[in-house]
């Protein structure tokens, strides 16, 4: 049996492929493997950006492995108490200290828990064949591994509640019209586009890129006035390191000298 989570280094970019035919569904073991990959991205100073995509060209991820659930390998009762790995379900939905950006390269149907995995990414590029849906309600379940928490912050409330209650599929084009995905591209250009974005990010100052996520997470829920205070007084180690970094000096100096900067992440 082939490895259901394939991890490849391309320079400073970590590519993660969820490859569990036919639906790229996620059981506990696969979730743990995904978590290990995202922890590698978090902890390895040589890595700056991650890409997550699905194997094949039809399905990014169909979410929970319902066959494993039916077999008793997972439970619906307090499901979060099962060991899904350090980042919760799918290894990313609760990995709160990952400051490096993750690009979701959505290659097909993005359904249920697969949609929740996508919502945990920072940038989403969708193939033009992609559709999104949350089909949990007819199963007697709710999408509580990220969709309840995140979707209504990305879509108008009525559209989000429609996806929860009605379960109709949303096309990539419609998702883009709401800003739910960043870009829609032809299926055969998906990884090319994702890699181009990842390489651009990998050339940026790492502490600056990582500070964006740290600051946005720390100020979420603040008023504007409160967020200024948070930025200035909270425990924000990446941002504090950025302010006194050699990279900050290098960026300014390179601009003045009209040359490309050489960022080292320190």
Establish if 248 belongs to a structural domain.
Answer: yes
264 located within any domain: no
164 located within any domain: yes
Distance CA 173, CA 55 (A): 22
Is residue 138 located within the same domain as residue 247? no
Query: Whose CA is closest to 34, among 65, 67, 72?
Result: 65
Assigned token pair, 146: 């990220």
Same domain, yes or no: 140 and 229 = no
Same domain as 11, residue 143: yes
Question: Which of 157, 180, 202 is the endpoint of a domain?
Answer: 202
Asked whether residue 226 is assigned to any structural domain, the reply reads yes
Alpha-carbon distance 115 to 98, whole Å?
19
Contact 186, 202 (CB under 8 A): no
| 262 part of a folded domain | no
The answer to whether residue 266 sits within a structural domain is no
Same domain, 236 and 195: no
| Domain at 86, CATH number | 3.90.226.10
Q: Note whether 154 and 247 are same-domain residues.
A: no
Q: pLDDT of 43-69, one tens digit each?
A: 999 999 999 999 999 999 998 887 777
Q: Which two tokens stand for residue 131?
A: 């559709």
- In this prediction, residues 134-148 reach a mean pLDDT of 90
**Which domain, by its residues, includes 115?**
5-202
Q: pLDDT digits over 253-262, tens only?
A: 888 989 888 8
Residue 236: inside a domain, yes or no? yes
Cis peptide before 22 (omega within 30 of 0): yes
d(CA 234, CA 249): 23
pLDDT digits (tens, 9 = 90+) for 96-115: 999 999 999 999 999 999 99
Note the pLDDT of residue 77: 73
Task: Give Cα 249 to chain centroid, integer Å.
Answer: 30
Final residue in a domain of this structure, among 202, 219, 241: 202
Are 192 and 152 in the same domain? yes
- Which of 178, 202, 226 delimits the end of a domain? 202
Residues 55 and 145 in one domain: yes
State both tokens at 27: 């059981």
Q: Are both 213 and 196 inside the same structural domain? A: no
Among 181, 31, 165, 190, which residue's Cα sits nearest to residue 95? Answer: 31
Does a structural domain hold residue 25? yes
Same domain, 15 and 135: yes
Q: Is residue 117 domain-shared with residue 75, that is, in the same domain?
A: yes
Domain count, the chain: 2
More confident residue, 141 or 205: 205
Same domain assignment for residues 184 and 246: no
**Is 34 in the same domain as 129?**
yes
Active-site residue set: 116, 136
The model carries a pTM of 0.94
């Amino acid at each position: 049996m082939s490895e259901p989570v394939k991890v490849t280094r391309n320079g400073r970019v970590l590519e993660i492929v969820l490859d569990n035919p036919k639906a790229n569904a996620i059981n506990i073991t696969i979730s743990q493997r995904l978590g290990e990959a995202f922890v590698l991205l978090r902890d390895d100073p040589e890595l700056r950006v991650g890409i997550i995509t699905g194997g094949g060209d039809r399905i990014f991820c169909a979410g929970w492995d319902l066959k494993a659930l039916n077999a008793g390998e997972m439970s619906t009762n307090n499901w979060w108490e099962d060991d899904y790995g350090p980042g919760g379900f799918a290894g990313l939905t609760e990995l709160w200290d990952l400051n490096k950006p993750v690009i979701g390269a959505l290659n097909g149907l993005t359904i249920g828990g697969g949609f929740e995995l996508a919502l945990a990414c920072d940038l989403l590029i969708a193939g033009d064949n992609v559709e999104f849906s949350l089909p949990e309600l007819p199963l007697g379940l709710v999408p509580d591994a990220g969709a309840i928490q995140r979707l209504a912050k990305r879509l108008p409330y009525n559209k989000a509640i429609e996806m929860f209650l009605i379960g109709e599929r949303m096309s990539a084009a419609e998702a883009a019209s709401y800003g739910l995905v960043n870009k829609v591209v032809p299926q055969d250009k998906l990884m090319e586009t994702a890699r181009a974005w990842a390489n651009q990010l990998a050339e940026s100052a790492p502490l600056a890129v990582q500070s964006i996520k740290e600051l946005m997470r720390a100020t979420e829920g603040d008023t504007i006035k409160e967020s200024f205070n948070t930025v200035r007084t909270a425990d924000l180690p990446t941002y504090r390191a950025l302010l006194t970094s050699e990279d900050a000096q290098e960026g300014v100096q390179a601009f003045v000298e009209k040359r490309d900067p050489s960022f080292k992440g320190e």
